[in-house]
Chains A and B, each alone.
Chain A
Amino acid sequence: MTLKDATAIVGIGQTAFAKHLPESERALACRAVLAALDDAGIDPGEVDALASYTMEETDEVELAKAVGFGDLTYFSKVGFGGGGSCATVAHLAAAIAAGQATVGVAWRSRKRGSGPRPWTNTSVQLPTPAQWTRPFGLLRPADEIAMLARRYLHEYGATRDHLFNVALACRNRANRNPAAIMYDRPLTREMYMTARWISEPLCLYDNCLETDGALACVIVGRERARDCRRPPVYVHSAAQGLPAQHHGMVNYWNDDPLTGPAWAAARHLWKHADFTPSDVDVAQIYDAFTPLVPLSLEGYGFCGRGEGGAFTEGGALETGGRLPLNTGGGGLSEAYVHGFNLINEGVKQLRGTSTSQVPGAATCLVTAGEGVPTSALLLRN
């Protein structure tokens, strides 16, 4: 048995994205799931499989009761925050391909815009590895990734202009996407270069948004997909990645901290694919922080080691460029819902309905959080 094209995403749904939404995470989850099922033309009573992140606070029991699912025969949750996004789809694809279920829903609902920052909760006291970092004031995810970013810039001669190229590509796409939080907020190089620091070398615009919102998608087997309301977007290849001696966001203690989980996920992803990085028409690359993009471009094989910064030059990530990126605006400028918007945007591209449509897009890479145990999908239409 192989996963290759055995299943397809046939429905996507999302709520509004905003700094503050009045409804609860549970209510937002229900809305996104119902929207995705409606998009697919599938009745909630047919759903028999669920997958989300371990950080998702709307549990399966509550969601199943609220929206009226049938009997569930498969449910799964994936750890490591944004590293779990693509794996939710991968778990459902595997379950459906193996006959454990027939209609799967993956979702993520999050009130990060109006809720407290996770890093301010010090009552969750310093487990490993936090005992080695937090007492010294390495407090936030931005601080942890900035440490790797500083070394990356130093070792390979990458520059803040390269990071700006990433931020700008996402912002330019968001400026075309009415659903994006940064729809009407252009970014300039001067704004970037004079922005306040968050954790040097990372400034305000190197960091993702704080967003309230929810998204979901529906996955079914290949045969069933042909009868759905929308054209199927096939799950061509899927992988998770937790490399040897990896240590999460503070991946400082293995031989080579600048090769993160992307490298491990990529090896499996491409091994099972009929195409290569040069055949990818559009990419949705997890962008909680701008440096994750050049690191991921290297990991997923779009360029050589140390070349991720230079890859961003000459409009490569813009529409019409070598690898149009995060076409809804990404976590940096559309919404930060632990990367689930990247999955749905990948589906939109392969349906031909993105607000920054890549003409004739037939293949899309979607990745989950880099810097944590991760996951990735190759989608095709």
Chain B
Amino acid sequence: MLTPVPDADGAPFWEYAARGELRVQTCADCDEPRFPPRPCCPHCHSFASEWRATSGRGRIWSYVVPHPPLLPDYAAHAPYVVLLVELADAPRIRLVGNLVSEPGAALGSVPPDRVRIGARVQAVFGADGLPQWVLERP
């Protein structure tokens, strides 16, 4: 599988995720969260930022179900569900991730017909440190 290759701005996200925490970069001066991470705040131009914890709760904003041809590691799991989750704590911050049946479960562990836009999901973390999502009401 492909692993994240963080840039300097994104590295903290992955470091927190590896510890089981879903944090979002937030301007330390005007409190505006932003994603993807970047050096300065587009609202107030401050270069000071913090990584604030989130509840890990969100709603499905959209999703896709990829089918082959795919990279071999992914083709082995297809069709699988890729979500775009809008965070409850920070509207308009939308994270791409996989819907799984339980923490650490494989891509493709939830049938696509169980997915609908607007459904509530919760962030969980697999052994590889990537955030995943489970349905609040499976």
Contacts and interface: CB of A to CB of B under 8 A. Distances in A.
B48 interface: no
Contact of A126 (B2, B42, B63): B2
A154 B112 CA distance: 16
B119 interface: no
Contacts of A127: 5, 7
B36 interface: yes
B117 A150 contact: yes
A2 interface: no
A200 B78 CA distance: 12
Q: Which residue, A131, A133, A201, A253, has most C-beta atoms of chain B within 10 A?
A: A131
A279 B112 CA distance: 44
Contact of A131 (B7, B61, B94, B97): B7
A161 to B, nearest CB: 19
A134 interface: yes
Contacts of A254: 92
Given A131-B4, A137-B107, A147-B62, A252 B71 contact: no
B22 interface: no
B123 interface: no
Contact of B66 (A117, A143, A148, A250): A143
B84 A147 contact: yes
Given A151-B61, A197-B65, A138 B4 contact: no
B94 A253 contact: yes
B96 A250 contact: yes
B125 interface: no
Interface string A113-137: 0000100101001111111111111
Contacts of B4: 126, 131-132, 135
Nearest to A119: B71
Contacts of B47: none
B64 interface: yes
Interface in B1-53: 1-7, 9-10, 14, 35-36, 42
Size bin of chain B's contact surface: 35 or more
Interface residues of A, number: 40
A12 to B, nearest CB: 34
A139 interface: yes
B88 interface: no
B7 A128 contact: yes
B122 interface: no
B62 A151 contact: yes
Contacts of B70: 137, 139-140
B96 A138 contact: yes
Interface string B55-83: 00000011111110111001001011010
A128 B74 CA distance: 21
Q: Which residue, B2, B7, B42, B112, has most C-beta atoms of chain A within 10 A?
A: B2
Nearest to A255: B92
Given A138-B82, A253-B94, A196 B74 contact: no
Contact of A197 (B79, B82, B93): B79
Nearest to A144: B64
B105 interface: no
A168 B68 CA distance: 24
Nearest to B65: A200
Nearest to A154: B117
B3 A135 contact: yes
B107 to A, nearest CB: 6
Given A126-B5, A200-B112, A139 B66 contact: yes
In the A-B complex, the 5 residue pairs with the closest CB atoms: A200-B65, A151-B62, A126-B5, A146-B64, A131-B4
26 contacts: A117-B69, A128-B10, A131-B14, A132-B4, A132-B36, A132-B95, A135-B4, A136-B98, A136-B130, A137-B70, A137-B77, A137-B82, A137-B98, A138-B66, A139-B74, A147-B84, A150-B64, A151-B62, A151-B84, A154-B117, A197-B65, A199-B67, A247-B36, A250-B96, A252-B61, A252-B96
Interface of B: 1-7, 9-10, 14, 35-36, 42, 61-67, 69-71, 74, 77, 79-80, 82, 84, 92-98, 107, 112, 117, 130
Interface of A: 117, 120, 122, 125-140, 143, 146-148, 150-151, 154, 196-201, 245, 247, 250, 252-255, 257
Given A129-B36, A151-B62, 17 more contacts: A120-B71, A122-B2, A128-B9, A135-B4, A137-B74, A137-B82, A138-B96, A139-B66, A147-B64, A151-B61, A151-B84, A197-B67, A198-B66, A250-B96, A253-B35, A253-B36, A253-B92
